[in-house]
Amino acid sequence: MPLSPSATRDLLDQLGHFPKRALGQNFLVDGNIVLKSLELAGVRAGDTVVEVGPGLGTLTTAILETGADLWAVEFDRHLHAHLEATLLPRFPNTFHLLEGDAVDQPLAALPADKAAAGFKVVANLPYAISTPWMDAVFSGPLPTNLVLMLQQEAAQRYAAKPGSKQFGAISIFLQSAYDIAPGHKVAAACFHPRPDVESYLLNLVRKPAPFVFDPEVKLLIRSCFQQRRKQLGALLRDKLPDGGAAWFVELTAAGYSPQSRAEDVPVAVWQKLQIPPAA
């Protein structure tokens, strides 16, 4: 079972470790949320799982106890040493622990053959890296499932629909590859130290035919959302060899126009955006 708030404080004192706000070190102390994470991801014996920021090992231990094969990356050297001393001896064959930056190692050095065979991600994701980490994950082998503890505002942004102020480039990239399944709200009281925001377990299931954007198109879409108030015609005029003419045909067929703004256009229409060769 996860440590209680008082037991978590005691362990942190024993380790001489002070939670680092900049690293999003809010440790989960609610056993129901740990179990919910595993339930949503459907973690079972024999699964390959990636965890980001295992911290004190609360979620880590629960994953390993299912019999899953776990690959985890921890940035904090102090916490990495704690996990190395406590969990590696207990699970020498199924726990693969890496010290490093999750943005540089989004899948915790998961071997290519393991990734190709299918894997899941279950993580209490440090809020500061959620978007760059997710962008890195979407650029490589795609997990079959992701259950991510996120700041509620971030989860809302990823799941946002066209026409809302929260809808952005990352919403498009995520929703092109994943269906958003029912998740779970998580109160601030479920953590120590208690964060200033509410959290949410975002539950993502890979689509049968996930769509992944080319890197150049991703950059172009991001640039459109960096100037949200501008019309797409003005934004793309100088950024595409044809001034956006080919895509505007698709846009018009879907009921929009070059006068539309980026946040109004549905995901399916963005998927038709291509960069034509220069004349």
- Tens digits of residue pLDDT in 105-114: 999 999 999 9
Cα(122)–Cα(181) distance, rounded to whole angstroms?
14
pLDDT of residue 209: 97
Closest CA to 11 of 89, 79, 95, 104: 79
Q: Is the peptide bond before 210 cis (omega within 30 degrees of 0)?
A: no
Residue type, 7: A
CB atoms under 10 Å from CB of 255, counted, come to 9
Cα(60)–Cα(40) distance, rounded to whole angstroms?
16
Q: What are phi and psi of 61, to 5 degrees?
A: -60, -45
Cα(97)–Cα(83) distance, rounded to whole angstroms?
8
Q: What are phi and psi of 268, to 5 degrees?
A: -60, -30
Region 266-277 average pLDDT: 94
Q: Residue 244, class by beta-carbon neighbours within 10 Å (0-12 exposed, 13-18 middle, 19+ buried)?
A: buried
Could you report the per-residue pLDDT of 4-30, keeping only the tens digit for each?
666 666 666 676 655 555 545 677 778
pLDDT of residue 113: 97
Q: Which domains does the chain have, with CATH numbers?
A: 5-206 (3.40.50.150), 215-270 (1.10.8)
Give me the chain's average pLDDT, please.
91
In the annotated binding site for S-adenosyl-L-methionine, the residues are 26, 28, 53, 74, 101, 124
**Could you tell me which residue, 28 or 209, shows the higher pLDDT?**
209
23-32, 89-98, 122-131, 216-225: range with lowest mean pLDDT = 23-32
pLDDT of residue 6: 62
In the annotated binding site, the residues are 26, 28, 53, 74, 101, 124
- Give the pair of three-digit tokens for residue 253: 């067929």
Region 55-69 average pLDDT: 94
pLDDT of residue 27: 72
pLDDT above 90 as % of the chain: 74
Distances (CA, A) of 100 to 14, 63, 121, 277: 24, 20, 17, 39
Task: Note the pTM of the prediction, 2 decimals.
Answer: 0.91
Region 171-196 average pLDDT: 91
CA geometry: angle at 185 spanning 179 and 188, to 5°?
A: 140
pLDDT of residue 10: 64
Residues whose CB falls within 8 Å of the CB of residue 60, separated by 6 or more in sequence, listed in order: 51, 54, 70, 72, 83, 87, 95
